[in-house]
């Protein structure tokens, strides 16, 4: 995606640390749970989408998940915990450093992420190599995701994607 | 063992009875049986899905795909027609095209030694064919015409492309039969198609378990707690399970909102009672076909599924990857004349399907449970398929495994595993 003309690299360490803390708390809500906390990281009206790099490069928006409100995120968190059948697993996100720009409408943060998945037998596989492309805004003094696009390279997914990413 | 045995061929004696109410666990894990399946089914007299015409609109466009474990290219020819060739150079066997799809241009060229073929697979160019200064090169009697790419027979039905390694195979419509053609063209009605997007997942279970899953309405009202919780699928819905004359193809359909009163859940555990859905668009389809059917799943032998759940339409191609694994490729599609609201519905309702789908993630998990569970089972152990009786007939209810029994009737006949009907 092109950067808008007005966007400026963020150099303020305090802002960068707040954004890093947001990302770390976000992945902890998935890796450590409880998953009920996951929707709280988003603004009420938001876009959360998980799209393969293959679709993205072809200009196709189809995602394995696509949620447009906190309500839809709550539905996913609830369904995952109460209305899905799957083998137990551990999810582990590893984040790279973020490039952060101030767009005027919020902070745009882009970072690499790899996500591992471990089975009950103890086998760890790479679920996906991906990037987060996020738009972060401040709401009542709290940073939240207005947009989070997970764009994943690993478009031959091993089995299924149970948890959000 | 008794019943249908082929004398002198012990490996086909695995079926304990003439019918298909017992499926030996060996068919999901035996390497020899798997090799036979590739030869007799995928490389035999079957029509295999290779893609949609809208994926290759311009001359020279290609889409790479698999039939069994062999790679093929679906190509748009200069005259607008279609060709399907094996993606393997006649020279030394190198893979010709690596991208999932792309532009071959006017010719297909092998990257290794630049042997060049027409879009139909005829060999037209060999670098240094005559050598240099009269030295080296090919023997002058080398017959270019005899060394083209492996060409497949190809047919398209309303924009959906099928290919066969057998040039003597019956025409596609005859292969599908009149009933299956009717349901196929209910969705593929001749309108222009557009691809909404792809999903791919590797599920570690035998390919046939995936096909069984889509022929198994019995599981859908039990395993899929999401569907049950929101009344998207109830085992008491108005429904049809149709098996074609060949027994290998089937359609499963239900209409939402036709059931009355409280469901007899048959003892199924329902999810948290206070669980209500915030986003109702997800489960409120816009009827787009001339009937009240909100779920239809068509399975065509051997390995393609056509899904219409609410407004999420997709082909699901099952690609075998050894006895214990397969790849599932989802091509979500819509129509060229979709309005903006329908485009949004297709994207939003895709949350139900695919590798993270509210519905289908359960399937991928349960299918791996099956493969793990049956692995290493003693010879003679078999799956039980007696829900809904022992026959392979069509039904007007969902509590049946007759579609799976039908699949194995066709399978046994093709595999030479005794005469299933004896």
pLDDT in tens, B65-86: 999 999 999 999 999 999 999 9
Pairing of strands A99-102, A107-118: antiparallel
Tokens representing A85 are 């059948």
How many residue contacts between A and B have a Cβ separation below 8 Å?
A: 125
pLDDT tens track for B354-363: 999 999 999 9
Sign of the CA dihedral running B361, B395, B236, B400:
negative
pLDDT of residue B240 exceeding 70? yes
Residues of chain B with Cβ-Cβ distance to A66 below 8 Å are: 347-348, 350-351
Assess if residue A2 is contained within a domain: no
Total domains, chain A:
1
Cα B48 to Cα A74: distance, rounded to the nearest angstrom: 41
Residues of chain A with Cβ-Cβ distance to B275 below 8 Å are: 78-79, 82-83
Pairing of strands B193-203, A156-158: parallel
The full length of chain B comes to 422
Closest residue, chain B, to A86 (C-alpha): B365
Count of Cβ atoms closer than 10 Å to residue A162 Cβ: 21
Closest residue, chain B, to A89 (C-alpha): B365
pLDDT at B222: 86
The residue among A109, A89, A81 whose CA lies nearest residue A23 is A109
CA dihedral A19, A22, A24, A30 (to 10 degrees): -150
Closest residue, chain A, to B348 (C-alpha): A66
Tell me if residue A39 falls in helix, strand or coil: helix
Q: Does A157 touch chain B (CB under 8 A)?
A: yes
Residues of chain B with Cβ-Cβ distance to A127 below 8 Å are: none
| pLDDT grade for B4, boundaries at 50, 70 and 90 | very low
pLDDT tens track for B148-179: 999 999 999 999 999 999 999 999 999 999 99
Name the least confident of A81-90, B133-142, B258-267, B293-302: B258-267
Residue B82, CA atoms < 13 Å, CB-side half-sphere: 24
What mean pLDDT comes out for the span B272-279? 62
Residues of chain B with Cβ-Cβ distance to A86 below 8 Å are: 361-362, 365
Provide the whole-model pTM: 0.94
pLDDT at B259: 52
Query: Which of A69, A84, A155 is the closest to B361 by Cβ?
Result: A84
Cα A106 to Cα A86: distance, rounded to the nearest angstrom: 37
Closest residue, chain A, to B355 (C-alpha): A160
The full length of chain A comes to 165
Tokens representing B35 are 């090799």
φ and ψ of A21, to 5 deg: -65, -40
Contact call for residues A159 and A135 (beta carbons, < 8 A): no
pLDDT of residue B260 exceeding 60? no
Cα B291 to Cα B50: distance, rounded to the nearest angstrom: 29
Strand residue runs (E) in B258-325: 293-300, 304-309, 312-320
CB contact under 8 A, B202 and A72: no
Separation in Å, CA of B369 to nearest CA in chain A: 8
Separation in Å, CA of B285 to nearest CA in chain A: 17
Residue A34: is the preceding peptide bond cis (ω within 30°)? yes
Residue B66: is the preceding peptide bond cis (ω within 30°)? no
| pLDDT grade for B235, boundaries at 50, 70 and 90 | confident
pLDDT at B285: 80
Assess if residue A49 is contained within a domain: yes
B48-156 to CATH, choices 3.40.190.150, 3.90.245.10, 2.102.10.10, 2.60.40.10:
2.102.10.10
Name the least confident of B116-120, B243-247, B262-266: B262-266
Closest residue, chain A, to B197 (C-alpha): A62
Contact call for residues B318 and B333 (beta carbons, < 8 A): no
pLDDT tens track for A108-130: 999 999 999 999 999 999 999 99
- Computed over its alpha carbons, how large is the radius of gyration of chain B? 23
pLDDT of residue B257 exceeding 90? no
Q: What is the CATH number of the domain that holds A114?
A: 3.10.450.50
Assess if residue A165 is contained within a domain: no
The phi-psi region of residue A104 (left if phi > 0; otherwise alpha if psi is between -120 and 50; otherwise beta) is: left
Query: Of chain A residues 94-153, which have a CB less than 8 A from chain B?
Result: none
pLDDT of residue B3 exceeding 60? no
pLDDT of residue B275 exceeding 70? no
What mean pLDDT comes out for the span B261-281? 59
B178-415 to CATH, choices 3.40.720.10, 3.40.50.1820, 3.90.380.10, 3.40.50.10090:
3.90.380.10
Of chain B, the percentage scoring pLDDT greater than 90 comes to 78
Separation in Å, CA of A83 to nearest CA in chain B: 5
pLDDT of residue B261 exceeding 90? no
Assess if residue A160 is contained within a domain: no
Task: Point out the residues of chain A with pLDDT beneath 50.
Answer: 1
Contact call for residues B406 and B247 (beta carbons, < 8 A): yes
pLDDT of residue B264 exceeding 90? no
| pLDDT grade for B55, boundaries at 50, 70 and 90 | very high
Residues β-bridged to residue A138: A143
* Residue A151 Cα to chain centre, angstroms: 9
Separation in Å, CA of B73 to nearest CA in chain A: 18
Residues of chain A with Cβ-Cβ distance to B225 below 8 Å are: 82-85
Q: Which ipTM did the prediction report?
A: 0.95
Most A CBs within 10 Å, among B352, B363, B365, to test the A interface: B365
Cα separation values, B102 from A22, A119, B108, B277, B336, Å: 40, 37, 11, 41, 21
pLDDT at B237: 80
pLDDT of residue B336 exceeding 60? yes
CB contact under 8 A, B361 and A156: no
In angstroms, the first-to-last Cα distance of chain B is 15
The CA angle B210-B319-B24, to the nearest 5 degrees, is 45
Query: Chain-wide mean pLDDT for chain B?
Result: 91
Structural domain boundaries in chain B: 48-156, 178-415
Contact call for residues A164 and A115 (beta carbons, < 8 A): no
Structural domain containing residue A83: 11-152
């Amino acid at each position: 995606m092109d950067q808008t003309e007005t966007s400026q690299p963020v150099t303020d360490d305090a802002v960068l640390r707040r954004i890093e803390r947001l990302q770390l708390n976000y992945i902890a809500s998935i890796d450590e749970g409880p998953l009920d906390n996951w929707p709280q990281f988003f603004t009420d009206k938001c876009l959360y989408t998980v799209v393969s790099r293959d679709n993205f490069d072809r200009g196709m928006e189809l995602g394995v998940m696509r949620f447009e409100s906190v309500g839809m995120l709550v539905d996913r968190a609830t369904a995952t915990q109460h209305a899905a059948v799957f083998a137990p697993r551990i999810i582990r996100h590893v984040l790279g450093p973020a490039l952060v720009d101030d767009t005027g409408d919020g902070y745009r943060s882009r970072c690499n992420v790899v996500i591992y998945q471990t089975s009950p037998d103890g086998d760890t596989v790479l679920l996906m190599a991906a990037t987060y492309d996020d738009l972060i805004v401040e709401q009542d003094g709290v940073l939240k995701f207005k947009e989070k696009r997970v764009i994943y390279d690993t478009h031959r997914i091993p089995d299924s994607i149970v948890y959000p990413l | 063992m008794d019943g249908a045995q082929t004398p002198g061929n012990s490996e086909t004696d695995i079926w304990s009875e003439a019918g298909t109410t017992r499926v030996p666990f060996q068919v999901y894990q035996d390497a020899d049986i798997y090799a036979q399946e590739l030869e007799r089914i995928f490389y035999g007299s079957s029509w295999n899905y290779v893609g949609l015409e809208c994926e290759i609109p311009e001359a020279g466009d290609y889409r790479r795909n698999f039939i069994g474990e062999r790679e093929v290219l679906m190509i748009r020819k200069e005259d607008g027609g279609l060709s399907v060739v094996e993606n393997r150079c006649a020279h030394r066997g190198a893979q010709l095209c690596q991208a999932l799809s792309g532009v071959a241009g006017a010719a297909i060229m092998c990257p290794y030694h630049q042997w060049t073929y027409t879009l139909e697979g005829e060999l037209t160019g060999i670098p240094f064919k005559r050598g240099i200064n009269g030295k080296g090169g090919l023997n002058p009697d080398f017959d270019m015409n005899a060394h083209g790419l492996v060409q497949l027979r190809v047919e398209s039905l309303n924009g959906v492309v099928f290919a066969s390694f057998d040039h003597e195979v019956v025409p596609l419509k005859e292969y599908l039969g009149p009933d299956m053609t009717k349901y196929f063209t209910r969705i593929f009605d001749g309108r222009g198609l557009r691809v909404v997007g792809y999903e791919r997942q590797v599920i570690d279970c035998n390919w046939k378990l995936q096909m069984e899953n889509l022929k198994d309405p019995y599981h859908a009202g039990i395993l899929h707690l999401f569907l049950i919780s929101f009344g998207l699928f109830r085992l008491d819905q108005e429904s049809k399970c149709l098996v074609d004359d060949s027994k290998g193809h089937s359609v499963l359909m239900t209409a939402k909102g036709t059931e009355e009163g409280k469901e007899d859940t048959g003892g199924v555990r329902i999810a948290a009672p206070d669980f209500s859905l915030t986003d109702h668009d997800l489960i409120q389809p816009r009827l787009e076909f001339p009937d009240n059917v909100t779920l239809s799943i068509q399975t065509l032998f051997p390995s393609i599924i056509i899904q219409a759940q609410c407004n999420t339409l997709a082909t699901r191609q099952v690609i075998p990857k050894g006895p214990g694994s397969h790849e599932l490729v989802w091509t979500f599609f819509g129509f060229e004349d979709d309005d903006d609201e329908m485009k949004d519905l297709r994207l939003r309702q895709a949350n139900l399907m695919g590798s993270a789908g509210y519905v289908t993630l359960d399937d991928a998990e349960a299918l791996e449970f099956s493969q793990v569970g049956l692995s290493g089972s003693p010879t003679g152990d078999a799956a039980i398929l007696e829900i809904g009786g022992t026959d392979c007939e069509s039904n007007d209810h969902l509590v049946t495994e007759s579609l799976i029994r039908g699949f194995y009737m066709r399978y046994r006949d093709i595999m030479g595993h005794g005469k299933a009907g004896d």
